[in-house]
Structure 1
Amino acid sequence: MRSVLGRLGAALAVALTLALATALPAAAQGKPDLENTLYLDTAYGRVVIKLRPDLAPKHAARLKELTRANFYNGVPFHRVIEGFMAQTGDPTGTGTGGSGVKLPAEFSNVPFKRGVVGMARATSPDSADSQFFIMFDETPSLNGKYTVVGEVVSGMEFVDKIKKGTGQGGTVSNPDKVVKMTVAADAKPK
């Protein structure tokens, strides 16, 4: 009797697992959300960024739109500060350029720590455009003051290799560039 109940319980567990697996969306099953994943290719290797539309839907949508328009391809990492962050997204390389579309702030309580991707902005909280940065380390002074738009899920070792700038502003001469940026859903299989 015990072995029959044991087999019945095991069969029930398998059936329940299969039912849940088919009922849950891909993200809940641990599968990557390719529509909200960016591949940022550097000269050192691929950085995979998981966008957070749950935190910053307008910013995530804008990054995908610009990526699909090839906006980031060849754009320099113009501001890189050791122990702080690497910033890109300005095609002029000066830190003052962008795409021309300002976005309203979408602040959250997610802390700025290693691997977090945030939106750069001017003095106004509602001035983020195309520039974004990837954190090298935790920086609590940014918390709640800048929009968190994503996080690096693999390839931080390649971000660490990006050429660092000099001085307090971290301006980089002869900077490394984004080789190519792609929305994972659009990427051709290797």
Structure 2
Amino acid sequence: MRKLVFALCLLCGPAYATGLEIDIAGEAEGTIIIDLFEEVAPLHVARIATLVQEGAYNEVVFHRVIDGFMAQTGDVEYGRMGQDMRYAGRGGSQYPDLPAEFSEITFDRGVIGMARAQNPNSANSQFFIMFAPGPFLDGQYTVVGQVVGGMEVVDAIKRGRGQNGAVIGTPDYMRALRLRDDDPVAAQ
């Protein structure tokens, strides 16, 4: 199985990065530093790395932000600044959906998970950052990383309204993203 996953990863994108830097703009201003879990979710991390290298995540909004829960972004199809935000959250990327890579990692504050539809094998480009622990997500969503710097920036992301957390008005967005292949904590 590991050989199959490795072979698939070679087909789905660039070599792994160990981390990610995301510059946030809007009500929240600053940089979030993420440690990516390439050994836990190799297909999902490779997808993120591919989309970062292509610049696909640049200018993508946080379209669903629920206070006390999480901030969701990554809709590279319909979630770019300047697009009709009514469709944000419905799209993915040009690549096929990914099979789930569930792990024993719990959804604690700062954990990054891949968003998906009802089908567990439907994650594509969207991801979310936890504001607070959400153990009810454990084993249901793929964990891809952990915030190791800039959690105060995450905490400042403009909140949405209502049960679904839709952001009204101008949402915060990911201005630019960079892959890191060194220790993200050392960069702080």
Deviation at 1:108, TM superposition (A): 0.4
Given candidates 139, 145, 149, the residue that maps to 2:134 is 139
Aligned pair partner of 1:90 in 68, 75, 78: 75
Cα separation, 1, equivalents of 2:174 and 2:22? 7
Partners of 2:146 and 2:135 in 1: CA distance: 16
Give the match's secondary structure for 2:148: strand
Cα distance between partner residues in 1 of 2:17 and 2:105: 22
1:65 to 50, 54, 62: 50
Matched, 1:177 2:173: yes
The aligned residue for residue 75 of structure 1 is: 60
The amino acid across from 2:60 in the alignment is V
Choose from 93, 98, 101 the match for 1:99. Answer: 93
1:128-183 deviations in whole A, cap 9, x for unaligned?
00000000000111000000000000001001111000000000022111010111
Per-residue deviation, residues 92-118 of structure 1 (Å, max 9, x unmatched): 132111103200000001000100000
- Tell me the CA shift for residue 54 of structure 1: 1.2
- Aligned pairs (5 A) from 1:4-43: 35-43=17-25
Deviations 1:31-50 (A, max 9, x none): xxx92110011121110011
Match of 2:83 in 1: none
Report deviation, 1:185.
4.0
1:46 equivalent in alignment to 2:31? yes
Q: Give ranges in structure 1 of 5+ residues lacking alignment.
A: 1-33
SS at match of 2:47: helix
Identity fraction in percent: 54
Distance in 2 (alpha carbons) for counterparts of 1:56 and 1:144 = 13
Aligned-partner SS, 1:35:
coil
Query: Which residue of structure 2 lines up, in the alignment, with residue 122 of structure 1?
Result: 117
The CA distance in 1 between the partners of 2:164 and 2:177, in whole Å, is 25
Name the amino acid aligned to 2:158.
Answer: K
Richer in strand (by share): 2
Letter in 2 for 1:142: L
Task: Give me the CA root mean square deviation.
Answer: 1.6
Query: Which runs of 5 or more residues in structure 2 are unaligned?
Result: 1-15, 80-87
TM-score, normalized by length of structure 1? Answer: 0.78
Which is helix-richer, 1 or 2?
Answer: 1
Moved over 6 A (4+): none
Higher RCO (Cα < 8 Å, 6 or more apart): 2
